[in-house]
Structure 1
Amino acid sequence: MKKIEKYNIFEGSVRGTEPSKSNVKVDFTGTFRKDDKTVKINGFYNGNGEYLIRFMPDEVGIWHYELSLKAEEEINESGEFECIRETGNNHGPVVVNGMNFQYADGTRYIPFGTTLYAWIHQPRQLIEKTIETLSKSPFNKARMCVFPKSYTYNTNEPEFFPFEKNGEGKWDVNQPNVEFWKHLESQLSALSNIGIEADLILFHPYDRWGFADLGREDDLTYLDYCVRRLAAFRNIWWS
């Protein structure tokens, strides 16, 4: 039986046909049960016929799950995994206790943050240097952006963008660029591994690519995809 640390990510997957319209609004769901507790969440399309669902278990013990994909053909899978005690610097997500912060396991958390707005959009060497520097620093929180930033000292073109473009050359939020999101997740995990909370800025105006002017419906579709992919990361603060 697969073992997952408490507050880490269980990832389940099924194979299916590519969505016919939106790669965001897919009917892929997961139901997770332990004793009298039931959690239902939405999964996402990860490209190449792969559908993923992510779940952060918060109780030790055996969890049972059911995955359901309703596409051209209905696919259902079930299984179980064991959630084991957390180790190392895994204290769970930060929560509020009165006027103070603490980790889910009760350990006190005093935020001491820095800003790294566009760090994931920089050259790979600089990204790696950032993690190395942070690992030797006192910081335990970093503010960062999903979208690239156009501002003083931020003039380079990113390697990846969050979405593909349609035939008219406009961003298509229903066609996420999977490589970008994998890249973002890799850096979120790197921060988590060194005990740093990611204060993730979802929108900002410092833009020359058009992400600040997507419109309400596109913004909501983008947020839907963010939640489906990222909600199981224990170190994210939605900002």
Structure 2
Amino acid sequence: MIERWDIYEIELNGPSAGNPFVDVQLSTRFQLDDCVVELQGFYDGEGLYRIRFMPDTVGQWHFVTQSNVPELDSRTGQFECIEPSTGNHGPMHIDDTFYFRYADGTPYRQFGTTCYAWTHQGEEMERKTLQTLANSPFNKIRLCIFPKDYVYNKNEPVYYPYEGTPLKNWDFTRFNPPFWRHFEQRVLDLQKLGIEADVILFHTYDRWGFEYMEAENDDHYIRYAVA
């Protein structure tokens, strides 16, 4: 069972040869009665593929996968979506032009701070930041996906978003799964504290060449980031 507005994840084993980030297409069709949602999956390294879905309706959902790889195609399943528990307010949306409100109707009044390069500081500093936030009044922080180079931050990050070597020798067709797992974990850490993550997808404070990616690479990056 999965709560309404929680994340249901499908994990599948598939090919790791070649370049699965571009060679393998994977999507899933989720359905509850007349409600149909189609989502793209993604390659998470080491032969693992994932599809993530946030159900917004209580009931019995069914799914079927579509892929150009036979071992990932036509995989079926079902799960029950139940009512949300206390504290699970669902996603946020704009309310009456100028305000924010969660899906269950709870108002959201943001009081935020910035931690732009927080996820690139290493375990000790990142944990210390979480402890500080836990004792703060903030309910939102703004942070970047890409590492950031500016006067307050000159260190090299622990992880990079792509395979390759710094500073500018990257393969923009191959993502680095440990980087993305680490970033996801930090967003989940914030969620546990009741803090919304205001994620910056692109910025120009860069010395690694990420700001100069071609449009095709930008599109590939966006699709992977949102999956």
Whether these two folds match at TM > 0.5 is yes
> Within 1, Cα distance between the matches of 2:28 and 2:57?
17
> Within 2, Cα distance between the matches of 1:27 and 1:218?
17
Q: Aligned AA for 1:160? A: Y
Contact 2:65 2:72 in 1 (8 A): no
Q: How many residues align?
A: 224
Inter-CA distance 22–80: structure 2 relative to 1 (3 Å threshold): closer
Counterpart for residue 92 of structure 2: 94
TM-score, length-scaled by structure 1: 0.89
Structure 2 gap ranges (5+)? none
> Within 2, Cα distance between the matches of 1:114 and 1:19?
43
| Alpha-carbon distance, 1:67 to partner | 1.8
Counterpart for residue 171 of structure 2: 172
Higher relative contact order (CA 8 A, sep 6+): 1
Counterpart for residue 206 of structure 1: 205
Structure 1 gap ranges (5+)? 229-239
Contact 1:203 1:212 in 2 (8 A): yes
Paired residues for 1:53-92 under 5 Å: 53-71=51-69, 75-92=73-90
Q: Which moved more, 1:12-21 or 1:180-189?
A: 12-21
Counterpart for residue 104 of structure 1: 103
Q: Which moved more, 1:111-120 or 1:217-226?
A: 217-226
Contact 1:17 1:72 in 2 (8 A): no
Q: Aligned AA for 1:117? A: Y
Q: Aligned AA for 1:175? A: R
Counterpart for residue 192 of structure 1: 191
Q: Secondary structure at the match of 2:194?
A: coil
| Alpha-carbon distance, 1:79 to partner | 0.9
Q: Which of 16, 19, 26 does residue 18 from structure 1 map onto?
A: 16
Counterpart for residue 236 of structure 1: none
Inter-CA distance 25–194: structure 2 relative to 1 (3 Å threshold): farther
Paired residues for 1:207-222 under 5 Å: 207-222=206-221
Q: Secondary structure at the match of 2:73?
A: strand
Question: Cα deviations across residues 17-73 of structure 1 (Å, max 9, x unaligned)?
Answer: 126345156311111111110000000011111111000011111111112332265
| Alpha-carbon distance, 1:165 to partner | 1.9
